[in-house]
Amino acid sequence: MTFNPTGLPEVLILKTSIQSDSRGWFVESFRKNLLEEAVGHNINFCQENRVKSYYGVIRGLHYQMPPGAQSKLISVIKGKVLDVVVDVRKGSPNFGKHITFELSRKNQKQLFIPRGFAHGYACLSKVATVIYHVDNYYNQSSEASIAFDDPQLNIDWQLPVNKIILSEKDKSLPRFQAAQFFDYNQSLYD
């Protein structure tokens, strides 16, 4: 398993190696000790979420504010998605910047997103199944979001506009300037 920094240094791409033979394949998709060594602090995943999406679905941009802030480990077990991460830590040198990654069953990449970042994805295949582990339980009162089409963020979701499918909730999310932000100087892992 390798851990590679991204354009947002705290966000990591994890690449697993597949052992295959005539019986099938085996992959070690998560090792707590290696992830903790790579991020420099303890990670205690407590909830696993699985999501099935169809082509054109965009989910996000979502995150939870303290005390419900969450780190996420994202993987795709079927299909392909464009995963998007936005730094929402006011005062960060990367505040407001975003990065995108293609995650798929085929490339076996995973994405570690620490607390303080918004997350979303677009389904680029006919169907995709996404699994994400989080280190804090879902808490509705901690929810925060940003509109996927915010002009300041200018994210290319790699979908034709007429093919985009949103939930009713995601159709009315605030613009970046009106969103809630983390304090870059506040420790999020106490």
Buried b / exposed e along 82-98 (16+ C-beta atoms within 10 A) = bbbbbbbbeebebebeb
Residue type, 20: S
Q: Which of 55, 62, 121, 184 is catalytic?
A: 62
Indicate if 189 belongs to the active site. Answer: no
Asked if 4 contacts 11 with a C-beta cutoff of 8 angstroms, the reply is no
Q: Which of 63, 98, 119, 132 is catalytic?
A: 132
Indicate if 132 belongs to the active site. Answer: yes
Interstrand relation of 89-90 and 182-183 (parallel, antiparallel or unpaired): parallel
- Residues marked active site are found at 62, 132
